[in-house]
Amino acid sequence: MKYLDASSADFEKSFQSLILSTLEPNKNVLETVSKIISDVRKRGDDALLEYTNHYDHFSAKLETLEIKKDEVEAALDRISDSMRDSFEDATKRIRTFHEKQKQETWTYKDEDGNVLGQRITPIDRIGVYVPGGKAAYPSSVLMNVIPAQVAGVREIIMVVPTPHGERNDLVLAAAEIVGVDRIFSIGGAQAIAALAFGTNLVPKVDKIVGPGNIYVTAAKREVFGFVGIDMIAGPSEVVIIADESANPDWVAMDLLAQAEHDEQASSILISSDRNFIKRVENSITNFLPEMERAKIIEASLENNGAMIKTENFKQAIEIVNAIAPEHLELAVIDPEILLDDIKHAGAIFIGSYSAESLGDYCAGPNHVLPTAHTARFSSPLGVYDFQKKTSLIKCDRSSVLNIAKVASVLARGEGLTAHARSAEFRRNS
């Protein structure tokens, strides 16, 4: 891991180098993705099947790409009782949190008697992409499906790649517990194209959500506008502000937990205590050999990990706001006093007991969060991502007089005579 001192003369240069990232895929990725999307759009199921068999290295038939209800039910039966209980507990917690996000239709009457308002309606059909490569993520099923259900989405289509034809019981079990409508064993750009444009097998959706690799991300970017998407997600990241009250083993494990996602994940510790930083480093050294994904963790920490020494909390928060991290842990003795000054973070974990891993699985708030500094302007996935807003305007003969006069004046100012006369007809009726 890199060591940076915020008081050093070259800190800003080193810091910018650390956080510099781009969501732009390289030219080869873009060309590959564009070709796949175009091909699936033109040839439909034939292209979808070819790409699925090629990239997932198996020989499926078209009729086997949809995972049937009995197979999903069988997967649920095969998992352990403790796993099933944990899924159900997590589902309850996540649903309870997201129920509080529901928006309702509202109206009001202005001083002239016009009725104005906003109507809230759910998206009809969504597609949920669930990764199935380096690791299987049943938690992504819960986090993406539940807020859509709370919003009232009519139909939920899930896609998940199955390398070598191997289907993950935990992913299927999670889908059965939350009640996904249809599941297809497809992934990559070809799955995104099928969801965006539809094929004879895969229904066209209105919005696509869920994480994926660089090809999936590039594909979501390309189909945006034909369908909605949740976000352009980059590698996962955590920043931890810690003081001498924190347990260095806990902090070290939280950094390791983030790093085990993949080689591009970012784990950053910020502390004003040089001795504490050293103790965390020692803990990482001790824990690393026993980690199942030690090679991935080591690469992640080497590429994107850092320990930053600051003078005080003020300096630490300035750095946090510059990073706008996906996850922020406040492992300090009095974390609440820092909250007001933190402007940019996807999720804030308050106090040493609030591990980021709890948010990943079952605390309640969504784990689909803005990455790559986008917390400056975006929010966690929520019920609001699956609801549409429609404006309501109701005028009558008496209430329209003033508003029509204003509209007429503004329209003539813009040189739009038909707009003006349209308003004047109502005023003069």
Instruction: Kindly name the residue from 326, 329, 356, 373 that is annotated as catalytic.
Output: 326
pLDDT interval class at 20 (50, 70, 90) = confident
CATH 3.30.1310.10 for domain 2-23+235-363, yes or no, is: no
Q: What tens digit of pLDDT does each residue of 88-127 get?
A: 999 999 999 999 999 999 999 999 999 999 999 999 999 9
Q: Is residue 327 flagged as an active site residue?
A: yes
Q: pTM score > 0.85 for this model?
A: yes
Q: Is 63 marked active-site?
A: no
Q: What is the pLDDT of residue 235?
A: 87
- How does residue 133 score in pLDDT terms, banded at 50, 70 and 90? low
- Cβ(277)–Cβ(310) under 8 Å? no
CATH class of segment(s) 27-229 = alpha beta
41 pLDDT higher than 80: yes
Here the tokens at position 123 are 């998206």
Kindly report, residue by residue over 304-363, the tens digit of the pLDDT: 999 999 999 999 999 999 999 999 999 999 999 999 999 999 999 999 999 999 999 999
Which of these is catalytic: 176, 237, 260, 327? 327
- Range of weakest confidence among 61-65, 212-216, 248-252, 386-390: 212-216
Helix (H) or strand (E) holding 331: strand 327-331
Round to whole Å and give the CA distance between 170 and 168: 6
283-292 tens-digit pLDDT? 999 999 999 9
Could you tell me how far CA 107 lies from the centroid of its own chain? 31
pLDDT (tens digit, 9 = 90+) per residue, 354-383?
Answer: 999 999 999 999 999 999 999 999 999 999
Give the mean model confidence (pLDDT) for residues 64-68: 97
**What integer pLDDT is reported at residue 134 of this predicted model?**
56
* Domain assignments of the chain as residue spans, ordered by start: 2-23+235-363, 27-229, 395-427
Give the pLDDT of residue 26.
86
How many CB atoms are closer than 10 A to CB 84? 16
Per the model's pLDDT, the better-predicted residue between 233 and 273 turns out to be 273
Buried residues in 27-58 as b, exposed as e (16+ CB within 10 A): eebbebbeebbebbbeebeebbbebbeebbee
pLDDT at position 135 over 80:
no
Residue from 264, 266, 260, 268 nearest 297 by CA: 260
In the predicted structure, residue 25 carries a pLDDT above the cut 80: no
Residue 224: pLDDT over 60: yes
Distance CA 192, CA 216 (A): 7
Q: What is the pLDDT of residues 268-278, one digit of tens each?
A: 999 999 999 99
Report the percentage of the chain scoring pLDDT > 70: 98
**Are 2-23+235-363 and 27-229 in the same CATH fold?**
yes
